[in-house]
Amino acid sequence: MIPDMNVTLDAQQALDMGDGFLAQEQPLPVNSSPLEQPSASSTPHPTNKTPSSSIPGTSTFSLHPSPSSSSGSSRKRKSSPEDEDSNVALKRQRNTLAARKYRQKRLDRISELEDALAAMKDERDDMRLQLARREAEVDALREMLAKK
């Protein structure tokens, strides 16, 4: 019966630490030994001084939140219709600007790709001309060798 009591107390203490307590824990480095404790500066949350939490890698929590942990302060207050309209207008304006920026960025990228394609085609054509000239030179040299 006593271990169940410890689990409940540990879970209550974890809940009292605030929302996101478990999500804030930093993973231990791979090369750390299990006996090492992380330094106080590397942990964003206060350390718990209970005997079961002093063992690294062990944590306990309850699936049933305590009644004292739920508070009404996390609810948003209803805003006036004018505030909602201004928020919607602001969101739409931001979305419009973001969409315009995205479209312009896409057009700029397409333009860059088209310029690169044109440069590659010019380079390809120049190389084809060089190849044709060198093939003609090779043919001329072969004819000169054949005449000797």
Query: Looking at this protein, which amino acid is placed at residue 131?
Result: L
Query: Where do the H-state alpha helices sit in 18-80?
Result: none
- In this prediction, residue 58 carries a pLDDT of 59
pTM, two decimals, is 0.41
Q: What is the pLDDT of residues 11-53, one digit of tens each?
A: 445 445 444 444 444 555 555 444 545 454 444 555 555 555 5
What is the 8-class DSSP label of residue 24? T
Structural domain includes residue 30:
yes
Instruction: State how many domains the chain has.
Output: 1
Does residue 46 sit within a domain?
A: yes
Q: Which domain holds residue 14?
A: 2-65
Encode pLDDT of 63-79 as tens digits. 665 555 555 556 666 66
Q: What burial class does residue 12 get, using C-beta atoms within 10 Å of its C-beta: 0-12 exposed, 13-18 middle, 19+ buried?
A: middle
The answer to whether 17 and 68 are in contact (CB under 8 A) is no
- CA 48 to chain CA mean position, Å: 30
Residue 115 located in a structural domain: no
Q: In this structure, is residue 132 part of a structural domain?
A: no
Tell me, yes or no, whether 79 lies in a domain. Answer: no
